[in-house]
Amino acid sequence: MSMPWSEIHAHNRATEAMAERLELRIHAIAWLITATVLAMRLVAGRQDLTSDATGWDDPSPNEPAAEATAAQPY
């Protein structure tokens, strides 16, 4: 047996209200993440987040290159 139109409309309104609440929660979470990232960038300033500002694959200026350490006898 099918539901009467009034029950279908009530169900649709409830579903719509739930979707709007979910949308607001998702937007709030997105704004929170955005604000957190912007605050972290503000704290970090224009500096790179690594201590010596080198890339991940670049050797540190304080450490000798791998070729130089391989040539030295122990």
Domain assignment present for 58: no
What's the structural domain count of the chain? 1
Helix (H) or strand (E) holding 15: helix 5-44
Domain assignment present for 17: yes
Domain assignment present for 14: yes
Q: Both tokens of residue 65?
A: 């290159």
The boundaries of the domain holding residue 32 are 1-46
Return the DSSP state at 52. Answer: S
pLDDT at 47 over 70: no
Domain assignment present for 2: yes
What does the pLDDT look like over 7-46, one tens digit per residue?
889 999 999 999 999 999 999 999 999 999 999 888 888 6
Computed on alpha carbons and rounded to an integer, the radius of gyration of the chain in Å comes to 29
Domain assignment present for 69: no
Domain assignment present for 39: yes
Tell me what the mean pLDDT of segment 45-63 comes to.
60
pTM, two decimals, is 0.51
Domain assignment present for 36: yes
